[in-house]
């Protein structure tokens, strides 16, 4: 890594948003993969004219905190269309909004897709039939490539643009554009952290070696159990079989939830504030029944609206919404909106092992499902319908009470401004 890189921003804070790469007038910055599989900017110092645009545009350098005392409007929402809900992460709010947006014409939508060889990257969609490529969460850091430049081009052509991504990507885009556009609408996802593409590909190879060639990857497959859905990692194989694991059992999901495979900057994310620069923030809502009459049958989206444009998107049609107490709903989300993931002390060793150990051995060392006898027995009983529903409800109620009793730190109420 060249010396000049250090001058863009601190290594541990760089989110890989690609704003510096996109803005460089000499095209002398490239996004290069580090040992952990994350992209970082690398400056070709022979071509660099030291104009400082990269530093000035970096949203981490530019962001300052604006204190706000009110709470944003918060809703539990879902698409009225059942097939949209089934193919989405939660209530399909983004997918429905994207369809509405494109139906109005002269519009384009950007979001995260599975690209070639299942690479997770950003892409543009301009017709309603292809919107579902953007649906569902892909729990891997998405490659931005030249998307910001493409967004600017479309805005200059007079198109309406809807852009979705993680908060750091939304800040990256805004910072790159450098000015407000009336025709730009942004939706960010509540983001726990972004897992490494390198670990993801090692995992896919592992699944493939054990089960067969991969045909399709889904990280939020919906399995309806009793009346609620459970999220599964589901991989269709070309031999007709399917690899399927609940998130609590899948090694790649566990590397995420155990804070092992996520990017360094996610442990001190600047953009995790209650108010956001985007028009809407969307997240999961696992306790909707405690917050509103909207039932969580196949998913409900926690929807935080930050602007008039956000309201317009929410009113664009076919979305069922219930206003909820913002503070309660945000707390019930489990603090993911405002607090950063805590670095697992084994993280660095995990990445060293990923480099030189067989994935099977990495699984044995770090990613075994929690199989305490009590948990195992509870799961077996639950899966066979032998635990009465009221006991499950009671457990969920207890978890809900625990979450809403947390306090939102005062310093999270504001917003990062550019
Ligand atoms: C890496 C990651 C971590 C998350 N962590 C949490 C969390 O801790 N708590 C929580 O409440 N919610 C989290 N979410 C958000 C949640 O999974 C759903 O996106 C949210 O519930 C919206 O559901 P929906 O049905 O309305 O979205 P859908 O209609 O299914 O649309 C999915 C949206 O997610 C975007 N997206 C998918 N993958 C990525 C990606 N890799 N990078 C950027 N954008 C992406 C798509 O562009 C699209 O806008 C996370 C999402 C991601 C991608």
pLDDT digits (tens, 9 = 90+) for 249-290: 999 999 999 999 999 999 999 999 999 999 999 999 988 888
Q: Does residue 414 fall inside a structural domain?
A: no
Question: What is the CATH classification number for the domain harbouring 112?
Answer: 3.40.640
Is residue 303 situated within a structural domain?
A: yes
- Determine the structural domain holding residue 178 and report its residue range: 73-195+273-340
Minimum CA distance residue for ligand 1 atom 47: 111
404 assigned to some structural domain: no
Q: 211-244: per-residue pLDDT in tens?
A: 999 999 999 898 766 666 678 899 999 999 999 9
The whole-angstrom separation of Cα 268 and Cα 168 is 12
Residues 154 and 280 in one domain: yes
Q: What angle do CA 59, 60, 62 make, to 5 degrees?
A: 60
Residue 299 has pLDDT above 90, yes or no: no
Number of domain units in the chain: 3
Nearest CA among 414, 330, 393 for reference residue 76: 330
The total of other beta-carbon atoms located within 10 Å of residue 3's CB is: 8
* Residue 130 and residue 278 in one domain: yes
pLDDT at 371 over 60: yes
Q: What is the mean pLDDT of residues 73-84?
A: 96
Q: How far is the CA of 137 from the centre of ligand 1 (A)?
A: 4
Based on the domain organization, do 86 and 137 belong to the same domain? yes
User: Are residues 162 and 23 part of one domain?
Assistant: no
Tokens 């949209």 sit on residue:
84
Q: Same structural domain for residues 219 and 292? A: no
| Ligand 1 within 6 A of CB of 88 | yes
The finding on whether 139 has its CB within 6 A of some atom of ligand 1 is yes
| Same domain, yes or no: 335 and 346 | no
Cross-strand pairs, 43? 29
> Ligand 1 within 6 A of 165 CB?
yes
Q: What pairs with residue 40 in β-bridges?
A: 32
Out of 38, 66, 94, a domain closes at 66
Confidence band of 4 (pLDDT split at 50, 70, 90): very low
Task: Flag whether 381 is in a domain.
Answer: no
- Determine the residue of 18, 83, 89 to mutate for testing ligand 1's pocket, defined as the one with the most ligand atoms within 8 A of the Cβ atom: 89
For residues 290 and 245, membership in a common domain is answered with: no
In this structure, what token pair is assigned to residue 187? Answer: 């939706």
pTM above threshold 0.85: yes
Cα separation, 238 vs 340, in Å, equals 38
Angle at 305 between CA 406 and CA 262, to 5 degrees: 60
Q: Are residues 56 and 83 in the same domain?
A: no
87 lines ligand 1 (CB under 6 A): no
In a domain, 392, yes or no: no
- Check residue 226 and give its pLDDT: 60
Ligand 1: which residue has its CA nearest to atom 4? 191
Residue of minimum CA distance from atom 49 in ligand 1: 164
Question: Is residue 397, in this structure, part of any structural domain at all?
Answer: no
**Residues 250 and 102 grouped into a single domain:** no
pLDDT score for 131: 98
Higher pLDDT, 372 or 40: 40
How many Å lie between the centroid of ligand 1 and the Cα of residue 327? 21
Q: Which two tokens stand for residue 357?
A: 């150990």
Q: How far is the CA of 149 from the centre of ligand 1 (A)?
A: 23
Task: Pick the last residue of a domain from 40, 66, 92.
Answer: 66
Mean pLDDT taken over the chain: 93
Between the CA of 385 and the centroid of ligand 1 the distance, in Å, is 30
Q: 283 alpha carbon to ligand 1 midpoint, in Å? A: 7
Cβ–ligand 1 contact at 354 (below 6 Å): no
Separation of CA 281 and ligand 1 centre (Å): 10
- Residue 286 CA, ligand 1 centroid: distance in Å: 14
């Amino acid at each position: 890594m060249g010396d000049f890189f250090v001058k863009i921003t601190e290594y541990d804070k760089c989110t890989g948003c690609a704003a510096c790469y996109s803005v460089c007038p000499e095209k002398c910055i490239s996004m290069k993969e580090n040992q952990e599989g994350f992209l970082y900017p690398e400056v070709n110092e022979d071509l660099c004219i030291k104009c400082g645009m990269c530093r000035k545009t970096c949203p981490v350098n530019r962001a300052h905190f604006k204190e706000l005392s009110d709470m944003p409007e918060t809703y539990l929402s879902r698409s009225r269309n059942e097939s949209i809900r089934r193919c989405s992460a939660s209530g399909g709010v983004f997918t429905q909004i994207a369809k509405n947006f494109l139906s109005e014409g002269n519009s384009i939508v950007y979001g995260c897709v599975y690209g070639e060889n299942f690479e997770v990257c950003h892409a543009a969609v301009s017709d309603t039939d292809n919107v579902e490529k953007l649906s569902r969460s892909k729990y891997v850091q998405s490659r931005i490539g030249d998307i910001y430049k493409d967004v600017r081009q479309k805005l200059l052509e007079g198109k309406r643009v809807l852009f979705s991504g993680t908060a750091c990507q939304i800040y990256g885009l805004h910072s790159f554009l450098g000015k407000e556009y009336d025709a730009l609408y942004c939706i960010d996802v509540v983001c726990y952290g972004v897992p490494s593409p390198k670990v993801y590909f090692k995992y896919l190879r592992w699944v493939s070696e054990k089960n067969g060639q991969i045909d399709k990857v889904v990280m939020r497959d919906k399995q309806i159990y009793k009346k609620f859905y459970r999220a599964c990692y589901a991989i269709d194989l070309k031999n007709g079989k399917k690899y399927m694991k609940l998130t609590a059992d899948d090694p790649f999901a566990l590397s995420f939830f155990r804070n092992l495979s996520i990017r360094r900057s996610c442990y001190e994310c600047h953009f995790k504030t209650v108010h956001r620069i985007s028009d809407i923030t969307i997240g999961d809502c696992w306790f909707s029944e405690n917050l509103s009459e909207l039932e969580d049958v196949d998913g409900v989206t926690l929807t935080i609206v930050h602007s008039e444009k956000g309201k317009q998107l929410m009113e664009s049609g076919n979305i069922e919404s219930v206003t909820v107490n913002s503070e309660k709903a945000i707390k019930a989300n489990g603090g993911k909106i405002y607090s950063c993931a805590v670095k697992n002390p084994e993280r660095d060793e995990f990445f060293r092992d990923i480099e030189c150990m067989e994935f099977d051995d990495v699984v044995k060392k770090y990613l075994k499902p929690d199989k305490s006898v009590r948990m195992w027995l509870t799961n077996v009983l639950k899966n066979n319908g032998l635990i009465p529903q009221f006991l499950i409800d009671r457990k969920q109620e207890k978890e809900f009470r625990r979450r809403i009793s947390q306090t939102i730190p005062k310093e999270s109420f504001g917003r990062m401004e550019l």
